[in-house]
Amino acid sequence: MKSIPLCLALVTSTLLSFTVHAADQALISPQAGARTYAQNYKDMVLATCMTQAYQNDTGAATDAGSSANALRDWTYFDMEESPNAVKSLVNRYLARDYSNPLVESDIKGVRFDFLKCMDLYHSKALEDLVKRLVIHPKRTYRQENPSRATALGAAAR
């Protein structure tokens, strides 16, 4: 009978250590592996839009471009058709004229590129692209690569 409380204490402490480890893992690694392919694809398109929008601001463009490249690793999509489709969609949104005379009087040359990228991110056009090009949109990288995800977690410790 004395061994039951001891076993419960051991099981509880073991489970708590797994919970703490999972929480630590969430803080030290990108969460893209846990998001669906569809969400990662949309994030990749947003990062691509930001890269193009801020290509003259090297820090922002470099960071967004690096993020887009990283997201490609956690997304499963049609690699042949996607680059041209994404480029075309991004160009269409960045070409929009969001000029506002009230703002222009205070800030010369404002283009509202971030707003254009956000509109792209929330657009039906992007949803349609996801449906057309993302393979298994509700699956995640970690679901399909459990041993790789575990190995990455161990390497991060």
46-60 confidence digits (pLDDT tens):
999 999 999 999 899
Least confidently predicted of 2-6, 22-26, 82-86, 91-95: 2-6
Is residue 15 domain-resident? no
Structural domains of the chain, count: 1
Ranges 66-70, 88-92, 97-101, 114-118: which has the least confidence: 97-101
In a domain? residue 3: no
In sequence order, which residues have a C-beta less than 8 Å from that of residue 141 and are 6 or more positions away? 32, 33, 37, 40, 73, 74, 75, 76, 149
| pLDDT for residue 41 is more than 90 | yes
Residue whose token pair is 């041993």: 147
Averaged confidence pLDDT in the chain? 82
Residue 26 lies in a domain: no
What is the share, in percent, of the chain residues with pLDDT greater than 90? 56
CATH (domain of 63):
1.20.120.1620
* Whether the Cβ atoms of residue 50 and residue 64 lie closer than 8 Å to each other: yes
> Which tokens hold the place of 70?
């990283």
Using the predicted structure, report yes or no on whether residue 130 has a pLDDT greater than 80.
Answer: yes
Whether 108 maps to a domain, the answer reads yes
Give the residue with greater pLDDT, 104 vs 30. 104
Nearest-angstrom CA–CA distance, 144 and 138? 11
- Whether 17 is covered by a domain: the verdict is no
Residue 12: is its pLDDT beyond 80? no
**Of 42 and 154, which is predicted with more confidence?**
42
Average pLDDT rounded to a whole number, residues 121-145? 96
Q: Does residue 126 form part of some domain? A: yes
pLDDT class of 156 with cuts at 50, 70, 90: low
The answer to whether residue 18 is domain-embedded is: no
Q: What is the extent of the structural domain holding 78?
A: 32-156
Is 60 part of any domain?
A: yes
